[in-house]
Structure 1
Amino acid sequence: MHATSDDKAKKIELELSVVMSCHCAIRSVDHISDFLTKYGKGSDLEKIRLHRSKCACLLKNVIAPSLRDVLSENLSGKKFSLIVDESTDVSVSKNLCILVRYFNDHSQHVETDLLALVPVTDATGEVLFQEIEAVLHSFGQTFKNCIGFGADGASSLVGKNNSVFSRILQTNPKCILVKCICHSLALAVKHACEKLMADVGFLVTEIPAWFSKSTLRRNDFQKLSEVLNTGGDEQGTGSLPPFMKSSSTRWLTRGEVMKRIMDNWPELQAYFSLVESSGSFETRSKGRIILGMLKNPYTFLFFSFATPLIREVEKINKMFQAEKVDAEKQCKELMAFHRTLRDRLFDQKGQPLALSNVDFGHDFEIELKKFLDHSSQQANVKSEVASMKQRCHDCLVELFNQVKVRLPDNIKLFNGLSFLSPNMVMSHDVHRAPLKHLPLSHLLNSEIEQEYRSIPYHDWSADFPLGTPKDALEFWAAVALLKNSVGEIKYPNLSHYALACMTLPVSNAHVERVFSYVTWLKSKTRNRLQLVMMEALLRIRMNLLTRGGCCKEFEASVDMLNRFSSSMYHKYSQSDDEMGEIDAIFDFQD
């Protein structure tokens, strides 16, 4: 059956609503739709009648509910993992974000999608557990199918006695707790940096803050930097300016901020020398403090030591934030980093190295040699250098201990995922793991055992003519579709088990991205944004991101077209109009 002109108009209005939800304030649809109608004479655009109230209803009562039902259908009967976190938005409303991680049979990928955004006033373990349980029931699921629970270290979520997870264990004792590795590494760096000279933390905070809200200061620094680096070979040439701000809620910024300050050290000294001699009393006072720290050679030496170290931790942290996470490989990277810290501090017998033998890093040793060459005649240099080295040593020790304490409790579990790699599974030799060594042993049964025994003897040449996939997820997704001679799935139990194992979360990066989007949506000028609309926008956005596309790839489904009727207005409330937007830009036009 061919689509009618009315269906085409509905389809355009649905897809235009998604475009608005991703990139614009909803009020702007009043002007955009009129413009399209005006210049769409003789085309399907001529029939669209989309304004802000209708657009809001389409988003809340048509598109988002349809996507929710699709997710509910995809989750039916599936093993899954939960990722949970709570945050307070700009209107001081506390929200609990609940994400689900599962294998989607249609896309053949492990996906992370939004279950719900729930308002909470009492953030106790009991209340949060009840909210999560109610959301799962609304999707036809229970905690019995939850194999993993990802969260940060908040006691209400993961405490031993009175938390969400302690209550989950009462329902499902085999559920695996996975504390966010990204949070853990960020806290490890924070504790380690406290062992360094206080000037380091002060400069990392105050130098970017100095430039953050002043275009004049930025321009003055840029001009001075160009004058100082006219020759083209001086330090700082081609480096990024030290304007990037560090943030306690962003995991990957501290090391980059420190590197930018180091790269611009001479330019910063020259700039704050000028600041000290001009401007207001307050400006000169703060400039004098910053300049004094920049002129202290020991401060630069601390930066030379700490910057490469912190950047290495943040490099590992970034791996755990990737969209496609290989938990087993990334945990090996983390373990390898911990071993490198041990080698810098201890000998082969595990005894602490003398301070003179500790590995403080190449950059630090080079800068220290330069410093000693220029200050060999000064008194107390040796004692000052020894004191500085002791602080750097304490920083290394603290980072070593923090990483050790915060290594994933389930490191053996993640390492066990390597046994599900294609090479290991298809191997005939002793390297192939016994069934009892496979991860999540409570999911194993006799059917999985039999399929696991027979899979090495399968002839893969016909199934994978271009070669067996090296990626475990791609391999098991293909195995889940293999059929025998009578048309039955050949390895249904084993493949479903393996794919379930791969839904275990390793970080809260996805939920942090959701809260970042909430911050963008619910700004100071849009602080009346209602929760129903905000959840609808998040669900649409998450659906697009999960599938790696944007609004231009979105296509309205048949279900959405069927929901597109006058009944969608029955849930409409004037208080929800235009998402509660009061954008000043649009208010000037009204």
Structure 2
Amino acid sequence: MDSDSNESDAQSSRLGTPPRKARKRHYDQKYSKLWEKDKEFAGIASQLSITQFGKTQSKKSFEDKIKFGEIRMACFLAKNNLPFNIAGDLKKLIQNVCSDSEIAKEITFEKTKAQAIVTNVTGKLSHSELVKTLQTEKFSLIVDESTDKSTTKHLALIARTAVDFNVEDSFLCLIPIVEGTASALHNICKEYFDNENIPYKENMIGFAADGANTMFGSHHSLSTLFANEIPHLFMMKCICHSFHLCASYACKTLPRGVEDFARDVYNYIQNSPKRLGDYKEFQSFLDIKPHKLLHPAQTRWLSLLPVVKRLLEQLPALKLYFQNAVLNDRLLAAQSIHVKSMDPSTELYLNFLDYVLLYFHDINKEMQSESPKLYLLYERIFTTYKTILECFIKPELLQLTEGEKNSSKDLNLDLENKILNLEYENKQNHVPIEEIYLGGNVISLLLKQDFLARINEMEIVQFKEKCILFYMESVKQIKQRFCFDEKQRLKCLKFMNPKHIIEKHAVATIAHLGVQFPGLCAENMTELDREWRLLRNMTFHFTEKNVDPTPEEFWKHVSSIKKGDRSPMFPPAMRIREKITHTST
């Protein structure tokens, strides 16, 4: 073979073609498991093949959907204040309803996992995002003390923020405390802000709490300690607490028998199935709606209003029921309630409370509004104050005389000052007792001959005198708890009402903001005032369904107005509005 090969190569050389290369031997390659132990190739061993790669990605997406579902379920329990104990039942419910869902079948959701997700996942994420917001944005702080079932005192911190015109109250933390003194609470708050790197002295612009001495005492309290650190801090007591107290103190001027009657009726009927069944028969006989009787709360006097309305609705059935109970049960409690139900004075007081408590109830609802209404607060409270005065004060004393009008520079301001400085306790300023306004139902009762036949003139006079005391205590408490001072910060915010701006009734200047809110109006007031004067002369077009836009809608629209170069036309106004909005407490 070698000679033949040599001859072939020689022949190829003669023909000018290159000689053929000798063939290499072929060796079969076999995979060795030992290679996987080599450090150089260990990572390759765990690498996915092309066929496995798509399956793994699909599996990961499927697992993510399961985790997403479990997180949503945990958030549902937390949002609706449901116990974690029902987590397992919720899982079974979803699996039964969605029996054809592969995701539902793979969900493993019980009490422990639900609690862990809320505590360690969504809770920590929300807290960290809120802290980041407080580190860069202005905020208001709302605090309150509470004691849980283990008698451990806690201090709850709530942060009110306004980012992109969305006003939100967010739970910040719940801190266990040993001492409840003002200094101790202040140190706890400072320590928390310092640990979270929140510059509260620069970013905190509002503070709210209840009216306890620890929180709002005039000499040494949490509010005064914060005010010493932040001179321009906007502070306000809880308005809901304040108006509850106004109603509470005013109701103390009325005979206690009215409240006792409400409590006794509830305790006698509602806690006994047999008596409740008997009472329903009387409701059916008189064709009265079968509503349940209500019980007034011990510490919330405004809860008396729905109780009063229900008693007035059920009064005919109550009279018949207790008349029957006196004959059959022969109990002293039934007899006492029957006497009160038949007393015409009881009906008068119930109708009076039905009329007057609604004033406090409506203001209280305004304070609980989810939409910022800080600019309306002063006007609403002053309107209520004046309306109550009109019930028992001579009309001419609540108006400006011709001489006062001629010498006045500002009619509204002068009238306001006259009303606020009026001596309402002076009986010479009261209308005659027969002209006192006590509500439409009371007036109707006192015009009915059959009702007048059951009550004497002296009882009517005593009733009206008690109502006057209620009115005087009401205005006293309102004036005591809400500052109507001419320099009141809330008063100067009336100009921010979108309706006034749209209807071209806005004030000519807002330079007073620089004095009232120096911490917010750090921008050049000349530039800010120039933009305001431009804004108040603009024409706004809102849809028919949104003729009266909310503050958020209006000011968000203002912030979107652009100049020719696409830059914001009102950037300072936008920033200040965004800051002021969330000081509403």
| Pairing 1:84–2:143 present | yes
Q: CA deviation at 1:453?
A: 0.5
Aligned to 1:405: 480
| Pairing 1:390–2:440 present | no
**The one of 320, 326, 334 aligned to 1:276:** 326
| Pairing 1:366–2:468 present | no
Q: Name the amino acid aligned to 1:415.
A: K
Aligned to 1:522: none
Q: How far apart, in 1, do the equivalents of 2:447 and 2:94 lie?
A: 69
Q: How far apart, in 2, do the equivalents of 1:217 and 1:331 lie?
A: 48
Aligned to 2:15: none
Q: CA deviation at 1:158?
A: 0.7
| Pairing 1:26–2:84 present | yes
1:220-299 mapped onto 2 (5 Å cutoff) = 220-229=278-287, 237-238=288-289, 241=291, 243-250=293-300, 252-279=302-329, 284-299=331-346
Aligned to 1:505: 584
Aligned to 2:265: 207
**The one of 525, 539, 550 aligned to 1:471:** 550
Q: Name the amino acid aligned to 1:504.
A: T
Aligned to 2:425: none
Aligned to 2:226: 168
Aligned to 1:72: 131
1:35-54 mapped onto 2 (5 Å cutoff) = 43-54=102-113
Q: How far apart, in 2, do the equivalents of 1:295 and 1:222 lie?
A: 20
Query: Against the structure 1 CA distance between its residues 303 and 47, is the aligned structure 2 distance closer, same or farther, given a 3 Å change threshold?
Result: closer
**The one of 217, 221, 232 aligned to 1:159:** 217
Aligned to 1:62: 121
**Helix, strand or coil for the counterpart of 2:245?**
helix
Q: How far apart, in 1, do the equivalents of 2:154 and 2:268 lie?
A: 33
Contact 2:372–2:582 (Cα < 8 Å) also in 1:
no
Q: Deviations over 1:135-172 (max 9, x none)?
A: 33326241432222112211100111221001001110
Quote the sequence identity (%).
21
Query: Against the structure 1 CA distance between its residues 191 and 242, is the aligned structure 2 distance closer, same or farther, given a 3 Å change threshold?
Result: farther
Q: CA deviation at 1:7?
A: 1.4
Name which of structure 1's ranges 422-431 and 17-26 shifts more when overlaid on structure 2: 422-431
Q: Name the amino acid aligned to 2:237.
A: K
Contact 2:375–2:496 (Cα < 8 Å) also in 1:
no
**Helix, strand or coil for the counterpart of 1:122?**
coil
Q: CA deviation at 1:409?
A: 5.8
Please give the root-mean-square deviation of Cα atoms over the aligned residues, in Å. Answer: 3.2
Contact 1:426–1:456 (Cα < 8 Å) also in 2:
no
Q: Which has the higher contact order (CA 8 A, sep 6+)?
A: 1
Q: How far apart, in 2, do the equivalents of 1:299 and 1:129 lie?
A: 49
Name which of structure 1's ranges 422-431 and 302-311 shifts more when overlaid on structure 2: 422-431
Q: Deviations over 1:249-276 (max 9, x none)?
A: 4464211101111222121111112222
Q: How far apart, in 2, do the equivalents of 1:160 and 1:104 lie?
A: 33
**Helix, strand or coil for the counterpart of 1:435?**
coil
Q: How far apart, in 2, do the equivalents of 1:166 and 1:392 lie?
A: 38
Q: Name the amino acid aligned to 2:72.
A: E
**Helix, strand or coil for the counterpart of 2:291?**
coil
Q: How far apart, in 2, do the equivalents of 1:50 and 1:404 lie?
A: 55
Contact 1:178–1:410 (Cα < 8 Å) also in 2:
no
**Helix, strand or coil for the counterpart of 1:4?**
helix
Q: How far apart, in 2, do the equivalents of 1:384 and 1:458 lie?
A: 60
Q: Name the amino acid aligned to 1:261.
A: L
1:474-493 mapped onto 2 (5 Å cutoff) = 474-486=553-565, 488-493=567-572
Q: How far apart, in 2, do the equivalents of 1:485 and 1:375 lie?
A: 79
Q: CA deviation at 1:40?
A: 5.1
Gaps of 5+ in 1: 230-236, 507-590
Aligned to 2:520: 443
Aligned to 2:368: 321
Query: Against the structure 1 CA distance between its residues 17 and 442, is the aligned structure 2 distance closer, same or farther, given a 3 Å change threshold?
Result: closer
Contact 1:103–1:110 (Cα < 8 Å) also in 2:
yes
Aligned to 1:129: 186
Q: How far apart, in 2, do the equivalents of 1:47 and 1:398 lie?
A: 65
**Helix, strand or coil for the counterpart of 2:495?**
helix
Q: Name the amino acid aligned to 1:339.
A: K
**Helix, strand or coil for the counterpart of 1:111?**
strand
Contact 1:83–1:505 (Cα < 8 Å) also in 2:
no
Q: CA deviation at 1:37?
A: 6.2
The count of aligned residue pairs is 490
Q: Name the amino acid aligned to 1:213.
A: N
Q: How far apart, in 1, do the equivalents of 2:535 and 2:442 lie?
A: 56
Name which of structure 1's ranges 427-436 and 387-396 shifts more when overlaid on structure 2: 427-436
Query: Against the structure 1 CA distance between its residues 70 and 442, is the aligned structure 2 distance closer, same or farther, given a 3 Å change threshold?
Result: closer
Contact 1:207–1:242 (Cα < 8 Å) also in 2:
no
Q: CA deviation at 1:458?
A: 6.5
Q: Deviations over 1:397-420 (max 9, x none)?
A: 111212222224688322322223
Query: Against the structure 1 CA distance between its residues 460 and 29, is the aligned structure 2 distance closer, same or farther, given a 3 Å change threshold?
Result: farther
Aligned to 1:537: none
Name which of structure 1's ranges 205-214 and 313-322 shifts more when overlaid on structure 2: 205-214
Report the structure number with the largest CA radius of gyration: 2
Q: Name the amino acid aligned to 1:89.
A: D
**The one of 410, 416, 426 aligned to 2:492:** 416
Q: How far apart, in 2, do the equivalents of 1:358 and 1:32 lie?
A: 60
Q: How far apart, in 1, do the equivalents of 2:157 and 2:552 lie?
A: 24
Query: Against the structure 1 CA distance between its residues 340 and 443, is the aligned structure 2 distance closer, same or farther, given a 3 Å change threshold?
Result: same
Gaps of 5+ in 2: 1-56, 398-421, 423-428
TM-score (normalised: structure 1)? 0.75
